[in-house]
Structure 1
Amino acid sequence: MTSDDPISGRPISPARQALAHVMARTGLVPESKEEPEVLRRLARALEPGMQDVADEKYRHILCVVRQKKWISRLLDRTRRSGRVWIMRAEIEQAVAGITDPTADDAALERALAPVAEARLREYGTSPRAAFEAVQADLVDTGRVLSPVQTDLLLMAIAVAFGLGADDPFLETARREESRRQSTTSRIEKVARERREQEEQHLRTWEESLVPFSEVPRLLHCSSREALRWIAENRLPVARKVLESGGRERWEFDPTALVALRTQLPEWRRGSGRDGAGHAGGPGGSGGPGGAAPHAPDMGRKVANAVIARVAALDRYAAHFRTARALNRRITLVTGPTNSGKSYTALNALAQAESGLALAPLRLLAHEFREALAARGVEASLSTGEERILVPGSRHLAATVEMCPFYSPVDVAIIDEAQMLFDTDRGAAWTAAIMGAPARHLYVLGAADCIPMVRRIAELCGDPLDEISLERKSPLRAASQPVRLADLGSGDALIAFSRREVLDLRASLMQHGKRVAVVYGALSPEVRRAEAQRFNNGQADILVATDAIGMGLNLSIKRVVFASLKKYDGRQTRDLSVQEVKQIGGRAGRFGKHETGVVAVLAGAGSPSFVRRQLEADPELPADLRPFVQPDVDIVKAVASEIGSQSLYGVLARIHRAVLRKDDPNYRLSDMEQAFAIASALEGVEGLDLSTRWAYAMCPVDDRDNGIRRLVGWAADHAAGRKVLPPGSGHLPSAERAGREELERAEKRHKRLVAWRWLALRFPDFYPDREEAEDTTRRLNDWIESVLRQQSRARRTQKF
């Protein structure tokens, strides 16, 4: 029976009556903003015909309603007190166990303490390991502990591990941490001072340069001789400056010119034998001042005797002496996805006595190795993180950056040549295509790489054959958008950020779909495992970023774009023709699906856009100059020339003087991160130039404070201390893991990638590689277990 409100005369709901009864008994009154939610929960809890609930049930409802407020209070208290290592997940777990709705701050802290202590113990098997793991996670998020916060963390770890206040761990850790912070401060201070010195040195050098008109006077020669020696690359041009009207001014280092005077008699005697001489790579256009002739054609092959003593980047092709000495032939094989580009090249490679297969990803290097093994050829493997040496093998599968430039082979393959246009990694493809020491080089890629590969072949003086392949199965654009609920088995849904991928995964799971995911932050092993789940039917739908556009073998029936725009690091723009073709071309795998379909998700854009991009001709890039960047040999040569062992100074000289921005043949790669690492390393004593360059090339992500961590490792290396491998940290059960825990594990994996990369180069200072590999496998297995969880509903910050 329902009572009426004596004031309004309207019936009082059973939930409100129950609330009145239980408030009278317990004295617990919800706040006004809590009351609507309490009433909703009471209504769900009431049995039919009942108008009251048990006191304990009411207390539980109040606790659940107040959890959000308690979480906010604890977050505020932990942050204000400096306990930034305590994560929201721990606070949520602690609050979920509170049964007293009147809990005050002291009660909240008592609930949090055992949860926080347990998590600290899970971070490592010892207090030291836990301390280092917590710090590493904090650095990933951009947090650097103050001395007070560091002491709080050490005391919390001591309590968690049951240590007394006089335990030696505390004093030792405090002393070591004080030393580390002092070292970090000193490194940063010295780095600032040395950068300023190098910049002043560079300014002084630039001010000392002289025009071409001064060269004959300094060398005691004629202008004609000076021009001939410049053409022969005997006289180094220090800097080329483009003036108004397109004229180019050449400037020279007078100190370097005077040092060459003793060689002039030999140059004069040899001029009849060497002729004009050419330097194997292109020079600048224009000449020293307006009256000088054009710079010589540098496209022909040349003897080593006339290669410049400094292989400047505007003569880049000449740097690869082994390749230039071979009678190379290049075959360019282009075609869309699913056109069989690699089949012929792999057969030729397998039949050759020696060979090299270069892939863009470690995963694909493994696949090349497996493809060779299937053809009866055992190959070694070389990637940034691992080496597998097969005794007696004369074949190698490697990532592009690991191309060996000094050991000639009969046949080489370089895959995904459209990466030449990538501002970050394009220089590696330039170097590989120019420098691969193969008598027959197969270059594989999409059609838009054709003009760039032609340009590189011309610069190298290598003959080029071209083969164009058609797609083996037809590809068409869908006429209508696809609703999320209508996605089915064999569909791949494409987004362009990790967050979007995980949001779409959660939405599809709410529709009862089994989902696999692929995105860039996942390791190659996890990506491969997720692809296998999709291919063998354990997952209905694949949700992925454009990471699927390269390499993974996927049995996709239909590609559906969740967005037709992407943020490329600089701006949000429409997908390019090549992106739509490369990603969409994954649909309709030959032998599995007769036709591939490319569609767009409802509300994400127009199907006509997809159709136009699929039907469009390849887009011709505005700039066809290949990207280049120095390698360790060029770095050392420039350092010798300028008389400096500062990597920052060398890179600054290269950036400012060696290759001008409008060079007609090459453009400098985006070396922003290498510059940043070199700059930070200026304050680290005891590392030679080659070692600094290796650190500058290490794959770190500065969004996770990777450079700061790298400098710390380098400082330990320079001091002769071992750098132990990063641990896996705290890994909750896969069933309880949310996005925060998953992202933290992905960042830990990145740390291990960088550590393993360095361990291959400096094994004496980065020991215990087996432990690092075991930790990597453990992280990969845990991440894959998390991604396999299919039964959980979407929650805030969860899947």
Structure 2
Amino acid sequence: MLRVPNLLRSQCCHETRRLLRSAPPVLFRTRKSFAAARDTPRKSSFGSARQDPPKAKERVFVPLDITASDVPQQFAEHAEKWLSSAYQHVSYRLLRFGIPQRCITPLLQAYVKEMKAGTVFSHLSYGPEHLARIARDVSPGEVIPWDEHYTKILFEWANHPEGQKRLERVVPIDVVLTMQTIYRAADLSNLAWDFRMTRLARPRKFIMHVGPTNSGKTHNALRALAAAKRGIYAGPLRLLAYEIWDRLNKGQIVPLGVDPEPELEPDLQSSIDLGEAAIGGSNVVVTKVGNPKYARACNMITGEEHKIVEDDAPLLSCTIEMTPFMNTWDVAVIDEIQLIADRQRGGAWTNAVLGVNASEVHLCGEESAIPLIESLVRDLGDTLEINRYQRLTPLVVAERSLEGDLKRIEKGDCAVAFSRTDIFGLKTRIEEETKMRCALAYGRLPPEIRSEQAALFNDPNSGYDVLVGSDAIGMGLNLKIKRIVFEAVRKYDGGRTRLLSTSQIKQIAGRAGRFGLHGDDSQGGVVTTLREEDLDVVRKALAAPYETIQYARVAMSLTSFLKVLYALPYGASQQTVADVFHFVSKLHPRFELQSTKDLEACFHFVDAFSDCLPAELRLQTQNSPCPWRDDHAVQGAVAVMKTYRDKMQVPIEEALQRSNLLSKLNEAYLLMESKETSVPPRQIVAVLARLETVHKVIVMYLWWSYRAKVAFPDQEKAFQLRQLTEIAMDWCLEVLHQVRIKAQNPIATARKEVLERRQWPTMDSENAAALAATQGSS
């Protein structure tokens, strides 16, 4: 059962009693492990056990400086090398696409023969832009881009009348028709017309607001939104969507066309990039106290939380993935437009640019997106206006690094590392060396906890003098940072450790010296590194221009996903569907499919539960907010889906129980109420890690509760558990500090600090006695 701490029960007595009565007596039942099921060979549509795909060689081709005009000749010269080196991989792929084994060799041989003869490119007649894109992709000499383009060209050529004629000579017509069906199902060359209502509407006016961090590039867009009859804000984070929603409803954003009143006090705690507008005077945009005459009814929709003020409120604040395309708006604001190139989420920004039906579309972000947006807007027949903003406080690189000496960390510094282990290690070392207290902000922490830690760091009287974080500080947090210190300039990306990009370094470094938040803004912000050898990397990145974004990312839509799925043999795996998009789909040269590199666990998951997931839900499951690289979170997702398959309904506590997380939650609560006077920091860090996983599973449950309410009925209870989990996580962070300063009773002191900080009401003795009696009877 779920054990809620006595000190916390006052907020949820009624719901907790019901939950305790219904909780199963056994915390965890052993079942066949997901890993074992995942490794079991599955039957393919051909009746044989499906084997793991052959591994492609890392490099078969040498790097070449290929121009657009060289592409036909280079592909002719390398055709046999591609076939000989990648034959096993390509044949396995075609077999999964539904091409019979006996037809694969003659099909590929005929294709290579025609490629060498130059007829393939002459039939397809690619334009210069398309050829230039192919040249850019294959020039590094890596095998995957060559393989992708050879396979894409094969399927497009099979769809061409001349290609069809030649292939019919060596394989049955049914094989060619199969290839044509798959090619047409996966054709994404006319993406813009997926948003037919927008294409048939009046031309849109795009207004770009671009500049570095802290340049104030967002405030004019938000003023236009506040003044619009109907408007929408779409941003990258739930907390940003929440802030916009909250401020619009309270009348804290001064509408465009209204002169701000001189006596208005700005709200310097805003996470919005307001620049000079945050200072005050006649430029105030976000006010500390709302004005009823500026208040606008605004709803909020994010993946895991909806706040509906009015059924048909004129304004909407949402995360970018939740942007509706069947509505008509006067003003749309799309924040952080440079994320249109993000490998995992960029497709949501692409859809918003192509599909949001608004007379005026404001795009806020980095100038690196300008060339791409210019070309997209031109092709769409819309107009574009560009407004550039400059940072108002100087940002300088220190002459020297800290030379590895953490004693040089100062109050107001933010030390940046890129793994959870490094972050906690850095926090411990800084606190030992400097005796200053560190707040934390990293990706695995819930946004609410990161925001609370940021507020503590910003408060000069809180005792939190230093911030230790990851690149999660680069967006959506209001931070009074004077100096950024890079602990490292390389980050593990899931495959290997890579040097941070120029854009990443600029985004993180730009958090230093936010205008209006320090007593002497003329000094601006400072950037340095822990080690001397990294300082030149940062210096060069900040001096360099922004790297121009080459491609807008494209996500699978439900319509295209279903077309491809139904074009493939029955029982096609999720990986096979993804491979069709990557190896067959035709895209405009300015587009690139979202990466599926980190989704192997997701594909296995979807395939393992294909018996209870209708085709329409397979893509939705793939897009659920599960961190697929986190094995513990994946186990939680497995438990949720097993419960759904067994009962077609998922109580939240049973989902946590089956994933062995209910006991972890109980352990954290028991430790939080413990009367022990000492606790090892390593134990607390481990408890925090488990709570991070619990929180992710609860968020996943909430996400599903908005999409399948009958199957996931415990939404209110899940919100309650999410809040309690966040309190326990906050307590973990606080107790680490109490242990470091050698508090007499760190567990109790941390509990008291957290409950007071959150203004969590405690129970009087009468209520406590009544609740204890109730608990005893249940």
Q: TM-score scaled to structure 1, two decimals?
A: 0.63
* Counterpart residue identity of residue 721, structure 1: M
* Counterpart residue identity of residue 412, structure 1: A
Q: 2:515 aligns with which of 562, 566, 590?
A: 590
Q: 1:787 to 1:604 in 2, by over 3 A?
A: farther
* Counterpart residue identity of residue 417, structure 2: A
Mapping of residues 31-70 of structure 1, within 5 Å: none
Look up the match of 1:628.
554
In structure 1, how many angstroms separate the alpha carbons of the residues matched to 2:150 and 2:598? 32
In structure 2, how many angstroms separate the alpha carbons of the residues matched to 1:183 and 1:545? 31
In structure 2, how many angstroms separate the alpha carbons of the residues matched to 1:476 and 1:424? 32
- Please state how far the C-alpha of 1:125 moved relative to its aligned partner: 6.0
Q: 1:724 aligns with which of 639, 647, 651?
A: 651
Look up the match of 1:541.
466
* Counterpart residue identity of residue 250, structure 1: E
**Is 2:486–2:530's contact at 8 Å kept on the other side of the alignment?**
no
Mapping of residues 427-506 of structure 1, within 5 Å: 427-482=347-402, 483-506=405-428
- Please state how far the C-alpha of 1:331 moved relative to its aligned partner: 1.4
Query: What secondary structure sits across from 1:620 in the alignment?
Result: coil
**Is 1:210–1:251's contact at 8 Å kept on the other side of the alignment?**
no
**Is 2:215–2:392's contact at 8 Å kept on the other side of the alignment?**
yes
Q: Deviations over 1:635-680 (max 9, x none)?
A: 22334455757562772463355415x8623222112455643443
Look up the match of 2:452.
529
Q: 1:554 to 1:186 in 2, by over 3 A?
A: closer
**Is 2:231–2:329's contact at 8 Å kept on the other side of the alignment?**
yes
In structure 2, how many angstroms separate the alpha carbons of the residues matched to 1:783 and 1:210? 59
Q: 1:787 to 1:244 in 2, by over 3 A?
A: closer
**Is 2:514–2:525's contact at 8 Å kept on the other side of the alignment?**
no
- Please state how far the C-alpha of 1:516 moved relative to its aligned partner: 0.6
Query: What secondary structure sits across from 2:189 in the alignment?
Result: helix
1:321 aligns with 2:321: no
Mapping of residues 114-193 of structure 1, within 5 Å: 131-132=26-27, 177=30, 180-181=31-32, 191-193=42-44
Q: 1:654 to 1:435 in 2, by over 3 A?
A: farther
**Is 1:369–1:380's contact at 8 Å kept on the other side of the alignment?**
yes
Look up the match of 2:672.
733
Mapping of residues 602-613 of structure 1, within 5 Å: 602-603=530-531, 605-613=533-541
**Is 2:416–2:487's contact at 8 Å kept on the other side of the alignment?**
yes
Q: 1:344 aligns with which of 197, 211, 220?
A: 220
- Please state how far the C-alpha of 1:584 moved relative to its aligned partner: 1.0
Look up the match of 1:677.
602
Q: Deviations over 1:495-543 (max 9, x none)?
A: 1111111112112222310211100000011001001001112111111
In structure 1, how many angstroms separate the alpha carbons of the residues matched to 2:34 and 2:510? 52
Query: What secondary structure sits across from 2:511 in the alignment?
Result: coil
Q: 2:626 aligns with which of 687, 693, 700?
A: 700
Q: 1:649 to 1:548 in 2, by over 3 A?
A: closer
**Is 2:97–2:569's contact at 8 Å kept on the other side of the alignment?**
no
Q: 1:360 aligns with which of 233, 236, 253?
A: 236
In structure 1, how many angstroms separate the alpha carbons of the residues matched to 2:239 and 2:504? 21
* Counterpart residue identity of residue 752, structure 1: I
Q: 2:156 aligns with which of 250, 261, 272?
A: 250
- Please state how far the C-alpha of 1:459 moved relative to its aligned partner: 4.0
**Is 1:477–1:598's contact at 8 Å kept on the other side of the alignment?**
yes
* Counterpart residue identity of residue 360, structure 2: H
- Please state how far the C-alpha of 1:343 moved relative to its aligned partner: 0.3
Look up the match of 1:416.
336
Query: What secondary structure sits across from 1:451 in the alignment?
Result: helix
- Please state how far the C-alpha of 1:741 moved relative to its aligned partner: 1.1
Look up the match of 2:134.
none
Q: 1:645 to 1:436 in 2, by over 3 A?
A: farther
In structure 2, how many angstroms separate the alpha carbons of the residues matched to 1:708 and 1:321? 40
Q: 1:715 to 1:346 in 2, by over 3 A?
A: same
1:749 aligns with 2:708: no
**Is 1:481–1:599's contact at 8 Å kept on the other side of the alignment?**
no
In structure 1, how many angstroms separate the alpha carbons of the residues matched to 2:561 and 2:222? 35
* Counterpart residue identity of residue 506, structure 1: T
Structure with greater Cα Rg: 1
Look up the match of 1:73.
none
Query: What secondary structure sits across from 1:396 in the alignment?
Result: strand
Look up the match of 1:763.
709
* Counterpart residue identity of residue 313, structure 1: L
**Is 2:427–2:438's contact at 8 Å kept on the other side of the alignment?**
yes
Mapping of residues 508-587 of structure 1, within 5 Å: 508-510=430-432, 511-537=434-460, 538=462, 539-587=464-512
* Counterpart residue identity of residue 194, structure 2: H
- Please state how far the C-alpha of 1:359 moved relative to its aligned partner: 1.0
Q: 1:637 aligns with which of 563, 570, 574?
A: 563
- Please state how far the C-alpha of 1:418 moved relative to its aligned partner: 1.7
Unaligned 5+ segments in structure 1 are 1-123, 136-172, 214-225, 229-239, 258-286, 292-307
Query: What secondary structure sits across from 1:761 in the alignment?
Result: coil
- Please state how far the C-alpha of 1:565 moved relative to its aligned partner: 2.5
Identity of aligned residues (%): 28
**Is 1:635–1:650's contact at 8 Å kept on the other side of the alignment?**
no
Deviates more, 1:491-500 or 1:646-655: 646-655
- Please state how far the C-alpha of 1:553 moved relative to its aligned partner: 0.9
**Is 1:659–1:667's contact at 8 Å kept on the other side of the alignment?**
no
In structure 1, how many angstroms separate the alpha carbons of the residues matched to 2:40 and 2:703? 28
- Higher RCO (CA 8 Å, separation ≥ 6 residues): 2
In structure 1, how many angstroms separate the alpha carbons of the residues matched to 2:394 and 2:186? 48
Query: What secondary structure sits across from 1:699 in the alignment?
Result: coil
Q: Deviations over 1:6-51 (max 9, x none)?
A: xxxxxxxxxxxxxxxxxxxxxxxxxxxxxxxxxxxxxxxxxxxxxx
Q: 2:726 aligns with which of 764, 767, 780?
A: 780
In structure 1, how many angstroms separate the alpha carbons of the residues matched to 2:416 and 2:240? 21
* Counterpart residue identity of residue 631, structure 2: D
Q: Deviations over 1:670-700 (max 9, x none)?
A: 1245564344333432431112221121121
In structure 2, how many angstroms separate the alpha carbons of the residues matched to 1:747 and 1:186? 22
- Please state how far the C-alpha of 1:550 moved relative to its aligned partner: 0.8
Q: TM-score scaled to structure 2, two decimals?
A: 0.64
* Counterpart residue identity of residue 401, structure 1: E
In structure 2, how many angstroms separate the alpha carbons of the residues matched to 1:184 and 1:571? 24
**Is 2:148–2:582's contact at 8 Å kept on the other side of the alignment?**
no
Q: 1:131 to 1:195 in 2, by over 3 A?
A: farther
Q: Deviations over 1:600-647 (max 9, x none)?
A: 2443535444333222211235xx122112121222233445575756
Q: Deviations over 1:737-783 (max 9, x none)?
A: 52111111111111112121112111111121111111111111111
Query: What secondary structure sits across from 2:32 in the alignment?
Result: helix
Unaligned 5+ segments in structure 2 are 1-18, 51-92, 111-122, 126-145, 167-182, 254-294, 657-661, 751-778
**Is 2:186–2:581's contact at 8 Å kept on the other side of the alignment?**
no
* Counterpart residue identity of residue 793, structure 1: R
Q: 1:604 to 1:529 in 2, by over 3 A?
A: farther
Aligned-residue CA RMSD (Å): 3.9
- Please state how far the C-alpha of 1:344 moved relative to its aligned partner: 0.5
**Is 1:565–1:572's contact at 8 Å kept on the other side of the alignment?**
yes
Mapping of residues 654-673 of structure 1, within 5 Å: 654-655=580-581, 658-659=584-585, 664-673=589-598
